[in-house]
A and B are shown apart, each in its own frame.
Chain A
Amino acid sequence: RFTRVLFFSCRLEVFLVLGTVIIYFIFSKKKEETLPFKDGWWGKGQKADTKEDTTIRPFKVETREEELSDLFRRLDQARFTEPLENSCFHYGINSVYLRKVVSYWKNQFNWKKQVEVLNKYPHFKTKIQGIDVHFVHVKPPHLPEGQSAKPLLMIHGWPGSFYEFYKIIPLLTDPASHGLSDEHVFEVICPSIPGYGFSEAPHKKGFNSVSAASIFYELMLRLGFNEFYAQGGDWGWLICTNLAQMAPNCMKGLHLNLASVTKVGFAHLLSVLLGRYFPGLFGFQEEDVRRMFPFLKKGLYRILLESGYAHIQATKPDTVGCGLNDSPVGLAAYILEKFSSWTDLEFQNLEDGGLERKFNLDDLLTNIMIYWVSGCIVSSMRFYKENLQKGIGTQKHEKLTVQVPTGIASFPNEIMHTPQAWAQKKYTNIVSFHFMPRGGHFAALEEPELLAKDILQFVGKVEKEQLKKKR
């Protein structure tokens, strides 16, 4: 009788194990499903019955005397608060340094000249799902024999803009003139996320990254591209990821300079606890360990100390943005603080926040002016609420994987490091993963050459792979 019971229990166990394996595979297969395209209407009031205007209209950034004199008046009347003694950038932006920036802004910064700089690339607007979407479209000045320009969609984040790409665009549309290999040449499309810069802000609730991805997908189709590459960091990372999940057949390759993992499980916890001692066991490389540990300091505390802005923007965007849309100095303070801390956290120990070590004031102020003249700070912040209000790791797209060939450029001063071992759970087809030697969050603006080189080598790999498959 005992042996019979044993036999049955063995069979039961086998059955259970088999059943689990089968179920696992069924469910894991499910993760490969595509993200559905999200249709929407973001315009004012009711959607009209008439067909939407799908024309692509050229656009020029303009400025008026009135705009400038209003800005100067506000800069003149700015009220500052003295910093605490020896506080550097530990309490946020240092107002002594801010005064210097404002003085430069008022006396040396030339907005008219910067507008001409902005207009050096062709701008366009087109109506999609009820709102005007702005984008810059730069074609290569000349193409090498027998080559065609590869379309590359580059998406910015917060508090950035399309302007962040102005230094990297020439390296991608005209690599030869900049000492880079011209094996691949791109035509670059940099849109503004709706609610940012010159793109109209959505008038309805619920405009999240999937909505943005759907709109950019429509944009690329409207421009006549049925295959393209996409590149992004910050929100651009998420929108490009969603795009890859939505239209994998259209996306030839996905390049990211940020690859956060939002769906964390027990395995992650374990690797955090033990990864320092058994890196190999968890797939960590030496550089991963160097960047991630001690985890409390470099992971948890850092996130807590740096995420106050995300917390308030994800809950009360209209409140926090209100004063910033009314005080250009307040706006500059808020945005510049990020360009300091997210470029190098050590900059907090400097009285000037280290800003001018990696950027020049003209570029920084041009980015801020885009937020100021378009009055978009509040709508840019709403994107946090629309994406994060239900919590992190709860949305459908966070549970789906990405099968599109992916290239990740991992910059050392990014706020939190994601090792390849974690990234490949979501990005199942990582073709290249490189530790960049220097640079932080605003990679395209800070280290355009490094980023461009990584994009080029990534595309090279993808194209080679494609050729192999064709043969």
Chain B
Amino acid sequence: QTILCFLRSFEYSQKNAVLVPVAALGVGGMLVYWLRSRHKIKTIEMGDGWWGSGERPLKGREDESIRPFKIETSDKEIEDLHRRLDQARYTPHVEGAAFHYGFNSSYLKKVVSYWRNQFDWRKQVEVLNKYPHFHTTIEGIDIHFIHVKPSYVPHGRAVQPLLMVHGWPGSFYEFYKIIPLLTEPAKHGLNEGDIVFEVICPSIPGYGFSEAPHQQGFDSIATARIFHKLMNRLGFKEYYLQGGDWGSRITTNMAQMLPQSVRGLHLNVVFIGKQGLGRLISIMLGAYVPWLVGLSREDARRIYPFMQKNIYDILRESGYLHIQATKPDTAGCGLNDSPVGLAAYILEKFSTWTDKSFLHKDDGGLESKYSLDELLTNVMIYWVTSSIVSSMRYYKENFSKDPNLTAYNRFGVHVPTGIAAFPQEIVHTPRTWAKDVYKNIITYSYMPHGGHFAAFEEPKLLAQDIMQFVRKVEQL
């Protein structure tokens, strides 16, 4: 009775004055919090790093100049190469080996003979120099990149900056055939709307003409940060990203680190990493009822039989990854000293990762998709820069911290994403699985042919897919 009386008295006098504003505040506060948390995306912390020799200098600002760079060679370099090619020691392969034991030594002899007698490194250096190269120092190391602007921009069209990141055992050179298709699409019969790009292809630190880190711990997060700093230094606030192999991982990390700078992310390979029990069950069911677990017919065709394609094939092809992720300095030592050994190691990947059936061929099917000049130019980039060991260390730095490559999956990727799924890629990731991490897939295309080195092997297909993706993003 007394309580009711108390309340009633309260009701008339205090309620309107106190309860209503308090309630309004409370509800309003909750609403604001809820709205903000919906749009608050967790990003990877940028952090900072120092990769030069010795201690980081306490005083002085880093030299931020962008210095033009030209690739050079010398008689001495070429003579040294020729001498090593001449003294190469081969091992006869077992009868009927084809490429099942690795690079076939009979075919290797033919490649080396071409390398020694017909391959013209001076001419290839001129080819490499046809695009402008630059160096700039970031976090203590020299970062190399090429920057190609369109020669002609039609009136009223915007030029989209596009950062393209290579992988292993590739280099910036893999993009040389696709760059003209992106900077001058009309000239090459590609008329994907109003999209024209200026392309920036850096070399990952430790690869090619980028200085190798001197400190331990240089992983894809550090690379992502450095490339953001590079784009910032070049004056870009917003840009597109494209990548495959390590490039896919780095550009993904970039999108997770500074989503506001990334207009769109285009990938030709998607790494999801280890999957859980639920995924395992859906894999088993998917063999019989693919539609039930979100797999398309093409997905099913590419991922089944599962054991064969995803377990056996990967085990068979991942020996290099295992040794590079544990003993890179050992694995790379001989390759930095023997150009023939280096060529065998690298070209084996260009064979098997382009088409798995190439394993059965005596010549590894290499020249059916590439010319020896372009393959050897890529090998030469590793040779003349002595970067094979540092390129292999990247595996250890990334895998020892995160063996399943899943540490950053929880961040998700919220920027508009385009995925080009090539049929001969080492492992196929269906859209339903990619959605676990890539929350905003704008385009997902099943490419008609092509393998791991998409930009190198199928530049036109990849360029068309990139343009189609960017057009959709720009229309959003």
Interface residues, chain A, CB within 8 Å of chain B? 44, 70, 73-74, 77-87, 91-95, 98, 201-205, 304-309, 311-327, 329-331, 333-334, 337, 375, 377-379, 382, 385
Contacts and interface: CB of A to CB of B under 8 A. Distances in A.
B213 interface: yes
Contacts of B329: 81, 83, 87, 91-95, 333
Contacts of B341: 322-327, 330
A377 B214 CA distance: 32
A306 B95 CA distance: 31
A92 B334 CA distance: 13
B102 interface: yes
Given A95-B333, A322-B340, A330-B333, 13 more contacts: A81-B336, A92-B331, A93-B333, A312-B322, A313-B319, A314-B319, A320-B323, A322-B103, A326-B84, A326-B341, A333-B329, A334-B331, A375-B89
Nearest to A78: B337
Contacts of A337: 327, 330
Interface residues of B, number: 61
Contact of A93 (B330, B336, B348): B330
B91 A322 contact: yes
Contacts of B101: 316-319, 382, 385
B328 A319 contact: no
Contact of A204 (B95, B325, B348): B95
B148 to A, nearest CB: 31
Contact of A326 (B95, B216, B328, B338): B338
Interface string B208-221: 00000111100000
B216 A308 contact: no
A311 B323 contact: yes
A319 B326 contact: no
A358 B331 CA distance: 24
Nearest to B347: A319
Contacts of B327: 91-93, 308-309, 337
B95 A203 contact: yes
Given A320-B345, A322-B341, A385-B101, A333 B330 contact: yes
A419 B386 CA distance: 45
B363 to A, nearest CB: 14
B359 to A, nearest CB: 10
A35 to B, nearest CB: 24
A314 B330 CA distance: 17
A385 B348 CA distance: 17
B280 interface: no
Contact of A323 (B80, B87, B214, B342): B342
A337 B332 CA distance: 13
B319 A308 contact: yes
B328 A79 contact: no
Interface stretch (B266-274, B285-293, B388-396, B461-469): B388-396
Nearest to A305: B326
A121 to B, nearest CB: 28
Interface of B: 53-54, 80, 83-84, 87-97, 101-105, 108, 213-216, 315-320, 322-338, 340-342, 344-345, 348, 386, 388-390, 393, 396
Given A93-B330, A318-B97, A325 B89 contact: yes
Q: Is the interface of B mostly helix, strand, loop or mixed?
A: helix
Contact of B104 (A83, A85, A314, A318): A318
Contact of A312 (B94, B104, B319, B342): B319
| 5 smallest beta-carbon distances between A and B, as pairs | A323-B341, A330-B334, A312-B319, A319-B102, A92-B330
A84 B92 CA distance: 36
Contact of A315 (B87, B108, B319): B319
Contact of B323 (A77, A203, A308): A308
B344 A81 contact: no
- For B91, B331, B345, which residue has the most chain A Cβ atoms within 10 angstroms? B91
Contact of A84 (B84, B93, B393): B393
B323 A323 contact: no
Contacts of A81: 329, 332-333, 336, 386, 388-390
25 contacts: A44-B95, A80-B336, A81-B388, A85-B53, A85-B214, A86-B216, A92-B329, A95-B329, A308-B319, A317-B101, A317-B102, A319-B101, A319-B102, A322-B91, A322-B340, A323-B340, A324-B341, A326-B89, A326-B334, A326-B337, A327-B341, A330-B336, A330-B337, A333-B333, A334-B334
Contacts of B316: 315
Given A79-B386, A81-B389, A318-B103, A334 B330 contact: yes
Given A84-B393, A91-B396, A320-B102, A378 B91 contact: yes
Contacts of B331: 92, 308, 312, 320, 334
Nearest to A312: B319
B455 to A, nearest CB: 24
A78 B348 CA distance: 24
Nearest to A307: B322
A97 B328 CA distance: 16
A202 B318 CA distance: 26
Contacts of B103: 316, 318-319, 322
B333 A312 contact: no
B56 to A, nearest CB: 12
A368 to B, nearest CB: 12
B95 A205 contact: yes
Nearest to A372: B89
Contacts of B328: 91-92
- For B317, B325, B326, B328, which residue has the most chain A Cβ atoms within 10 angstroms? B326
A204 B95 CA distance: 5
A326 B333 contact: no
B394 to A, nearest CB: 12
A317 B54 CA distance: 38
Contact of A325 (B91, B324, B326, B389): B91
A103 to B, nearest CB: 15
B151 to A, nearest CB: 39
Contacts of B333: 80-81, 92-93, 95, 98, 327, 329-330, 333-334
A309 B324 CA distance: 9
Contact of A322 (B87, B95, B108, B326): B108
